[in-house]
Structure 1
Amino acid sequence: MPDIFVDADGCPVVSIIIDTAKQYGLKVYLICDTSHLIQREGAETITVSKGSDAADFVLVNRMQKGDIVVTQDYGLAAMVLAKQGYAIDQNGRFYTPENMDQLLGFRHISKKARQAGQRMKGPKKRQKESDMLFKERFIQLIEKVISEG
């Protein structure tokens, strides 16, 4: 059975993840740094020191092939895929080898634009439909991983 790892700093779907994982008997690990102390019943919290990508490296070192990771970080998702894990973002988008190059390219262009002083639009206000879509896709992913395992 896969474990579920959540890049929990700023993740808006933690409760959905925990509730859904409970239905499948899956263990959930919330990874966060010391500026985001998150404790939730039904999940084990792993707190790491602050630092650039510190939580990402702890998560990748703990996960195993076939585990599921929830993150909005494209770089972390790329490392998860490299370890033969499954990655999904908080909006229900699956990270795949097919879309990873495009996402990392977009991240690079956005970073360059910010460094040049351009302002980027932030994310839209989260809608209830986004939570429902995430849950639907998260269940699809869990069932796929279990059936392949």
Structure 2
Amino acid sequence: MNETAPTQIFVDADACPVKDEVVRVAERHGLVVTFVSNGGLRPSRDPMIRHVVVPKSADAADDWIVDNSHAGDIVITADVPLAARCVERGVHVLGPTGRPFTPESIGMAVAMRDLKQHLRETGEIRGFNPGFSAKDRSAFLSALDLTVRRAAKR
């Protein structure tokens, strides 16, 4: 990887609730955004906004993001296993609520995901996700702006 390559933002776009917010922040900072999905996204005429459609297999979008992101880039995902793979590569990772996945926090995030999956599978808990709020959207915007500024300092 070229150490002077500009930071890019990669979005695990299937079911991502903050696509518009990513575009707004990226435009403000002049960054390229790549939305990766299994399809269904409307293409943009903006040359700084790219869309990649991957096959509908289970981890195709995740694999594409891992293969194409580099240390210093930013990935937006709620997928904890994808976040772990990216953090391992030195990529900045944010969840859609603004939660950063870092080398210090990713181990606990993976453990909690695995525990909750086990509890759902055994019927101990139900698989409801909390609703996405205006507070979450605002927290995400602040976190992404901060992450972009940190990535630019590398």
TM-score in terms of structure 1 length: 0.92
Aligned partner of 1:15 in structure 2 is: 20
Aligned partner of 1:39 in structure 2 is: 42
The alpha-carbon deviation at position 137 of structure 1 amounts to: 0.8
Match of 1:127 among 133, 137, 140: 133
Identity of aligned residues (%): 26
The alpha-carbon deviation at position 40 of structure 1 amounts to: 4.5
> Which residue type is aligned with residue 13 of structure 1?
V
- Once the two structures are superposed, the pairs formed by residues 22-101 of structure 1 within 5 Å of their partners are 22-34=27-39, 37-41=40-44, 42=46, 43-101=49-107
Distance of 2:87 and 2:41 partners within structure 1 = 26
Structure 2: runs of 5 or more not aligned:
1-5
Per the alignment, in what secondary structure is the counterpart of residue 37 of structure 2? strand
Distance of 1:114 and 1:53 partners within structure 2 = 21
Stretch of structure 1 that moved more, 74-83 or 119-128: 119-128
Distance of 1:100 and 1:120 partners within structure 2 = 23
Q: What whole-Å deviation, never above 9, does each CA across 1:35-60 have from its counterpart, x for those lacking one?
A: xx112534211111111211100111
**What is the RMSD of the two structures over their aligned residues, measured on CA atoms?**
1.3
- Once the two structures are superposed, the pairs formed by residues 132-143 of structure 1 within 5 Å of their partners are 132-143=138-149
> Which residue type is aligned with residue 143 of structure 1?
R
Asked whether the 8 Å contact 2:75–2:93 carries over to 1, the reply is yes
Asked whether the 8 Å contact 2:120–2:127 carries over to 1, the reply is no
Higher share of residues assigned helix: 1
The alpha-carbon deviation at position 126 of structure 1 amounts to: 1.8
Structure 1: runs of 5 or more not aligned:
none
Q: What whole-Å deviation, never above 9, does each CA across 1:46-92 have from its counterpart, x for those lacking one?
A: 11111121110011101112110000011101111111111000000
Distance of 2:96 and 2:43 partners within structure 1 = 18
> How has the CA–CA distance of structure 1 residues 132 and 40 changed in structure 2, closer, same or farther, with 3 Å as cutoff?
farther
Q: What whole-Å deviation, never above 9, does each CA across 1:15-36 have from its counterpart, x for those lacking one?
A: 00011101111000001114xx
**Which stretches of structure 1, 4 residues or longer, exceed 3 Å deviation after superposition?**
none
Per the alignment, in what secondary structure is the counterpart of residue 128 of structure 2? coil
